[in-house]
Amino acid sequence: MKAWRDVGITYIQYSNIAARVVREALRIELRADAAKRNISIVKFTPWVNGKPVPRKKVERDSES
């Protein structure tokens, strides 16, 4: 099998790296806009006793 499989990298992580490299290789005028997709934003809204408590924002690099 693929070497990356052996060190615990999943296809999703593989895909993230591949997508990032493709974005880096775009024509210069497209690159800045594409780089915005390197980051994924996840919003969590915890609910306590039927009410949402203030929102937390978690940002991460798409690779981690």
Partner 1 sequence: MSFVKNARLLAARGARLAQNRSYSDEMKLTFAAANKTFYDAAVVRQIDVPSFSGSFGILAKHVPTLAVLKPGVVQVVENDGKTLKFFVSSGSVTVNEDSSVQVLAEEAHNIEDIDANEARQLLAKYQSQLSSAGDEKAKAQAAIAVEVAEALVKAAE
In the complex, the residues that contact partner 1 under the rule CB under 8 A are 3-4, 6-9, 11, 14-19, 21-28, 30, 34, 37, 63
Count of CB atoms situated within 10 Å of the CB of 8:
7
**CB contact set of 8 (below 8 Å; sequence gap of 6+):** none
**Which residue's CB is nearer to partner 1, number 30 or number 53?**
30
**Which residue's CB is nearer to partner 1, number 53 or number 63?**
63
Quick check: 41 and 59 in contact, CB under 8 A? yes
Tell me the closest approach of the beta carbon of residue 3 to partner 1, in angstroms. Answer: 6
